């Protein structure tokens, strides 16, 4: 098992109108979408596209567990940062953590985690292909 607590990638975004409720507050389910953006950008920053994993290696990374703790609302048109880290990496398992900050990185709005299992196209667990280990270790 590899722990990577100090390696992270930041993804900058802005709360869009369609992502808010009637009061202009970001709707809670959007945080999971933003976590996905964070994962995608993490992979790109580490040197590979998630699509390469799927298309070239028939390896998928479904979410098997997700959680989010909401600390302070994000409002319409506010810029924010999703900071993504790999928490745990094993042959068949990967966990990411996320922190959602204000654009100036001074206010923590939410924090969460997703857990994933590497699978083949049949949905059965499989090991991550060796050529991808270096990107996550």
- The residues assigned a catalytic role are 21
> Are the CB atoms for 34 and 82 separated by under 8 Å?
yes
> Are the CB atoms for 80 and 104 separated by under 8 Å?
no
Angle, vertex CA 89, rays to CA 2 and CA 11, nearest 5: 110
Name the H helices within 27-109: 30-46, 50-57
């Amino acid at each position: 098992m590899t722990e990577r607590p100090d390696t992270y990638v930041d993804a900058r975004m802005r709360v869009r109108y369609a992502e808010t409720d009637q009061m202009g507050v970001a709707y809670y389910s959007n945080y999971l979408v933003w976590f996905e953006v964070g994962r995608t950008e993490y992979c790109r920053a580490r040197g590979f596209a998630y699509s390469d994993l799927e298309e070239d290696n028939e390896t998928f990374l479904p979410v098997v567990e997700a959680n989010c703790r909401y600390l302070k609302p994000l409002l319409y048109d506010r810029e924010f940062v999703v900071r993504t880290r790999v928490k745990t990496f094993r042959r068949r398992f990967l966990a990411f953590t996320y922190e959602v900050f204000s654009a100036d990185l001074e206010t923590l709005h939410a924090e969460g985690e997703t857990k994933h299992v590497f699978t083949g196209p049949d949905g059965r667990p499989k090991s991550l292909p060796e050529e991808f280990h270096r990107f996550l270790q």
